[in-house]
Every structure is written in structure tokens, then in C-alpha cells.
């Protein structure tokens, strides 16, 4: 835990005085460790490493009543109280380090006391704590020697006193395990001070932070360059950062997160987003940050941890701009949301994109079943192009003749809708409501035949048959007369003096059984009445 120097005091009285942003740093760590512990609670080789643990207790400068646990004690308290760790036979190794001897004794004293401060602590064989009094990064070799074998998953919180101790080679070692993760402090403000006129030793320290042989002006406070180096040379696959600012709103350092695990990326992105939203809902340039300057402002009231509808829509537009006209997978979409936008919740974003009709279809390669949110590799999402947004369901059914002919039951309509943008944007009940409106509309237009009496009473999709009138057998069944008779009737209608001015349509029979081949002109009321009289004077037609 980064702290100021202090005089030698009894171990129980030593407390680090820190700035407000240090409390936020510990809260981010706690929230992530809570999810990290639950995620890896089924394994047997969990390791937590904090080489700059401090004395285990912190308080804000100028606020004597603001004491809280430091990073080391906060982590131990969380492990002892975590429900998932209590219910599974998992072993956790915790390695803490403090190089200054008086502060080391204070930390050691608080570590021994933590069991008395929690209810039902984990037994010592389940939570093994080792406290070192060594220099960093030499303590890393001591930790691996104590472990004897490289653990599968290790989380390291690197919070040095400056950039001199934060060597790139040390981070590479900590990321070497299969599930290695690091939350490291990048000293933006101090590194930015190093320039061409600085002493050579400072330039060498900055070069060591980036893992480069020499210092160049391009390295000045470039956190993105540091993240790129972690991915290219240290084995990290994903990186994120959270900015901290001082009481003058100047950027002082970044918390950089590096991991090989996509699940860890999702958790940390959620933690950083929610923390930034809680502290300041005005995310400047879509950046996660906290500023001591803003703690001097009046309270802003409660804030929400979830994304607003407006944020979902904004992220959906980003998706559409990137994937427009392409077919992709849910995994690729989620990676794009997590790595290229400020938002962590991709499902809400995808639903917003579907509701905006940016998505044409969602198909599953897993037996033709409806795509699930967790079947990333087997689901394909097709985005509309800029020139063609998705139609509504009725238009899609009318235009897709090949698809429509396969819909023989009401239930088929619902299943078809699930694989359109409706299936992503709406629930099953909402899809059923939409399908009912579509079927009623298609029946009213004479495009399908369905028992609407039974259909209107249905409360859920069923096996009620549906026939399409654009097929030969459906047309004959619909009108109840031979196709030759229909052609004859239509020829007589076309011979009417008003037929060249108005379209003639053949109306279906109603429930009372009136004539099915009666011609009606679409025009003024007088012309319709005249046509009706002429029809009555002409030869009569057989009734059905």
C-alpha cells in the first residue's frame, strides 16, 4: 500500500495517511477479489500476492475518523468471510511483503489479529498467510520458491512507492502462470516528468518500466504504450486501466489490469465501470477515473450501477458501425464491447441493437435451436448493412416466400420470430404478442387461412394450422370453387366499363355464407353501387 513515511510507533498504532483515491483503489481491489474468489473456488491453487502491503491500516489525510483496512487486511478479511470459499475445499496462499522492518512488524501484528475480528474464520490449513520482509522484486523469487511449483492462478496487486521498483521483468514473471493476473500501478505523473534533460538513471528506470533497453520521448506518461507492451511482451491477452487524479484534477497514476483470462476481463470491466459511475456519472471521454478534486464538491445523490438505456443505445450504434453488413459470433461481439467501448454489459447492448433493427437474424449451429447467450461459438449474428435495416416481422414473412411456406402452424410463426431481431430484443411473451398481431394482419389481407375464432382465444402458441393463399391448393380451398371458375369471374369483372380505372378484388366469404365470387370495385360509392346493380341484372352465380 503506497503511503507516506512516518515515525516509529507501536505496531498497533501505525496507520498510513493517504489521499482519498487510495480508498477507491482498495474498493476496486475488494470488488474484484470477491468475484475472483468465487470464480476459482473450485481449484486448489489460488494465490494472492501483495508485495507493497504497508502496515495494513489507512486513514485519509486531515480526516482522523476515516480509518479503513489497507489492501492486505481487506483481502484477508474478504477471504475469511467469502461464502464460496467456506463451502468448497479450496486452499488459498496469501503472500504479503513490507520491506521496512518497523512497518513489517505492524503488518505482521495485524495479520495475526485478523482471525479474532471475523466470525467463523477459515482454518489455517485452508488460508495460509506468509509475510515477507524483503526487497521487491526479489520477493517474487522467494514466493515461487515457497510454492515449489508454479500455481495455476495467481492474482498480484502491485502498488509500489514509485516507478523505480515497477520493473517490466517482474510483471512478466507474475503473468507467467496459466491464469496469471496483475493489477499494477502505473505512475503517470512521475513518468511524465522525465524528459531529455533528466538524469540518465531516471531514464533507465522508465525504460525498465516499459521493458525497453533505452528511454525515448514517446514513453512519457503513455499508458496505452505500456498496455501494448504487456500484451506483446509479458503474455497478457487483455488489458484495462482506471485513472486516478489528485485534488487539482491532475492525472497522477493509472491502475492497469492485465490478464490472460477473458472471464477476468469481464469482471474487472464491470467493477471499473460501476465504480466510475458511482463516483462520477460524467465519464470524461468514456474513461474510467476518480478525482480527489471532485470529492470536494457537494454530494451528487445516489447513482445507478447499471447502464442506462441511452448508454445501451450508444454502444449499439458502435456495434452497428463496426459490424454493419457482416455475420459474426456472440464471442466477437462481447470482445468488441469489452475492449473497444466503455461499457461492460454486452447483452443489454445486443438487445438494444436488435430493438433498433440493426440485426437481421440470429442463427444457431447447435441443432437448429434458438441461440442462447452462453453458446458463443455456435451462434451467428447477422447485422444489417447501412442501406438496409431489418424489416418488421410482417414484412419479413411476406417477403421471405421460401421461409413463409414452411410456417404451417401458429407455433411455427413464433419459432421463426425467435431467429429474427425480435428473438434478441424481446421475451417469449412479447414475441407471442407480436406474432398474434402479424397473423391477424395477414389474415385480414387475405394472405393466410386460419380459424380466427380459435386463434383469438389462444393464450399461447399452439398447433393451430395455417395455410398460405399463394399456393395453388390453398387458393381453391379458400374460395371454394374451381380455379377455372375464378378465372371466368375475373374476366367478366375486367370487362366492366370501370375496370380500367379501378382495381377489382375478389372478396372472401364471411361467416354468414354470402356469395364468394362477388366483384367489388375500389372507387367512389356511386360507381360501386352502379356495378352492384349491373351484377344483379346479369346471369346469377351458384352459391356455395
374 pLDDT higher than 50: no
Helix (H, G, I), strand (E, B) or coil at 347: helix
Distance between CA atoms of 82 and 354, rounded to whole angstroms? 38
Residue, of 19 and 3, whose pLDDT is higher: 19
pLDDT tens string 393-427: 656 655 554 555 567 888 888 877 776 666 666 67
Residue 533 backbone phi and psi in degrees, to 5: -65, -40
Sorted by sequence, the CB contacts under 8 Å of residue 535 that are 6+ apart come out as: 518, 519
pTM: 0.69
Tell me what percent of the chain is helix, strand and coil, each rounded to the nearest 5. Answer: 45, 15, 40
pLDDT tens string 287-303: 566 654 444 433 333 33
282 pLDDT higher than 70: no
β-pairing, 448-449 vs 467-468, is: antiparallel
98 pLDDT higher than 90: yes
Looking at 211-286, list the stretches that DSSP marks H as alpha helix, in order from N- to C-terminal side: 223-233, 262-279
Distance between CA atoms of 380 and 392, rounded to whole angstroms? 20
Kindly report the average pLDDT of the chain as a whole number: 75
527 pLDDT higher than 90: no
Distance between CA atoms of 74 and 97, rounded to whole angstroms? 15
CATH topology of domain 11-296: Rossmann fold (3.40.50)
pLDDT tens string 442-463: 788 787 888 888 888 888 777 8
* Structure letter (DSSP) for residue 402: H
121 pLDDT higher than 80: yes
Residue, of 538 and 141, whose pLDDT is higher: 141
* Burial label, 247 (beta-carbon count in 10 A; 0-12, 13-18, 19+): middle
What's the confidence (pLDDT) of residue 104? 95
477 pLDDT higher than 90: no
pLDDT tens string 152-164: 889 999 999 889 8
The answer to whether 208 touches 223, Cβ cutoff 8 Å, is no
pLDDT tens string 490-507: 444 444 443 444 333 333
Residue 498 backbone phi and psi in degrees, to 5: -95, 0
What's the confidence (pLDDT) of residue 344? 82
pLDDT tens string 333-364: 888 888 888 788 777 788 788 777 788 777 76
Distance between CA atoms of 364 and 543, rounded to whole angstroms? 50
Radius of gyration of the chain (CA): 35
pLDDT tens string 28-81: 999 999 988 888 767 667 899 999 999 999 998 877 678 899 999 999 999 999
Listed by start position, the domains of the chain span 11-296, 489-537
What's the confidence (pLDDT) of residue 416? 75
Amino acid at each position: 500500500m503506497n503511503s507516506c513515511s512516518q515515525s516509529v510507533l507501536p505496531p498497533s498504532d501505525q496507520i498510513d495517511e493517504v489521499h482519498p483515491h487510495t480508498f477507491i483503489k482498495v474498493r476496486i481491489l475488494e470488488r474484484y477479489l470477491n468475484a475472483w474468489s468465487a470464480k476459482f473456488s473450485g481449484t486448489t491453487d489460488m494465490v494472492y500476492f501483495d508485495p507493497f502491503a504497508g502496515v495494513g491500516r489507512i486513514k485519509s489525510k486531515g480526516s482522523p475518523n476515516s480509518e479503513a483496512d489497507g489492501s492486505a487486511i481487506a483481502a484477508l478479511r474478504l477471504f475469511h468471510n467469502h461464502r464460496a470459499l467456506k463451502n468448497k475445499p479450496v486452499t488459498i496462499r496469501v503472500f504479503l511483503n513490507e520491506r521496512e522492518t518497523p512497518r513489517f512488524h505492524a503488518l505482521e501484528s495485524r495479520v495475526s489479529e485478523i482471525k479474532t475480528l471475523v466470525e467463523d474464520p477459515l482454518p489455517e490449513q485452508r488460508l495460509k498467510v506468509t509475510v515477507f520482509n524483503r526487497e521487491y522484486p526479489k520477493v517474487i523469487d522467494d514466493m515461487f520458491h515457497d510454492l515449489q511449483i508454479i500455481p495455476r492462478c495467481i492474482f498480484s496487486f502491485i502498488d509500489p512507492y514509485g516507478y523505480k521498483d515497477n520493473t517490466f521483468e517482474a510483471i512478466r514473471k507474475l503473468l507467467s502462470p496459466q491464469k496469471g493476473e496483475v493489477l499494477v500501478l502505473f505512475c503517470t505523473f512521475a513518468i511524465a516528468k522525465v524528459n531529455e534533460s533528466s538524469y540518465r538513471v531516471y531514464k533507465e528506470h522508465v525504460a525498465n518500466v516499459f521493458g525497453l533497453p533505452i528511454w525515448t520521448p514517446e514513453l512519457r506518461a503513455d499508458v496505452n504504450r505500456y498496455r501494448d507492451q504487456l500484451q506483446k511482451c509479458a503474455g497478457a491477452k487483455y488489458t484495462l486501466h482506471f485513472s486516478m487524479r489528485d485534488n487539482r484534477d491532475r492525472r497522477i497514476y493509472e491502475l492497469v489490469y492485465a490478464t490472460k483470462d477473458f472471464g477476468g476481463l469481464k469482471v474487472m470491466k464491470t467493477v471499473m465501470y460501476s465504480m466510475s459511475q458511482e463516483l462520477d456519472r460524467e465519464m470524461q471521454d468514456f474513461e474510467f477515473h476518480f478525482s480527489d478534486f471532485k470529492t470536494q464538491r457537494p454530494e451528487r445523490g445516489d447513482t445507478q450501477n447499471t447502464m442506462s438505456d441511452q448508454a445501451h443505445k450508444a454502444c449499439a450504434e458502435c456495434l452497428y458501425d463496426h459490424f454493419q453488413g457482416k455475420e459474426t459470433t456472440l464471442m466477437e461481439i462481447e470482445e468488441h464491447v469489452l475492449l473497444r467501448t466503455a461499457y461492460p454489459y454486452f447483452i443489454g447492448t445486443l438487445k438494444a441493437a436488435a430493438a433498433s433493427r440493426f440485426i437481421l437474424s440470429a442463427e444457431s449451429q447447435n441443432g437448429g435451436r434458438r441461440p442462447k447467450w452462453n453458446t458463443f461459438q455456435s451462434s451467428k449474428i447477422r447485422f444489417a448493412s447501412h442501406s438496409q435495416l431489418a424489416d418488421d416481422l410482417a414484412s419479413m414473412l411476406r417477403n421471405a416466400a421460401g421461409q413463409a411456406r414452411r410456417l404451417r402452424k401458429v407455433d411455427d410463426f413464433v419459432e421463426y420470430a425467435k431467429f429474427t431481431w425480435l428473438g434478441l430484443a424481446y421475451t417469449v411473451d412479447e414475441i407471442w404478442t407480436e406474432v398474434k398481431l402479424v397473423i391477424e394482419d395477414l389474415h385480414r389481407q387475405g394472405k393466410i387461412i386460419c380459424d380466427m375464432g380459435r386463434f383469438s382465444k389462444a393464450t399461447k402458441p399452439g398447433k393451430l394450422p395455417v395455410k398460405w393463399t399463394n399456393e395453388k391448393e390453398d387458393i381453391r380451398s379458400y374460395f371454394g370453387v374451381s380455379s377455372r371458375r375464378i378465372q371466368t369471374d375475373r374476366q367478366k369483372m375486367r370487362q366492366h366499363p370501370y375496370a380500367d380505372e379501378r382495381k377489382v378484388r375478389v372478396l372472401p366469404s364471411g361467416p354468414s355464407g354470402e356469395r364468394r365470387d362477388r366483384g367489388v370495385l375500389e372507387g367512389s360509392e356511386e360507381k360501386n353501387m352502379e356495378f352492384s346493380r349491373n351484377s344483379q341484372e346479369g346471369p346469377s352465380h351458384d352459391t356455395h
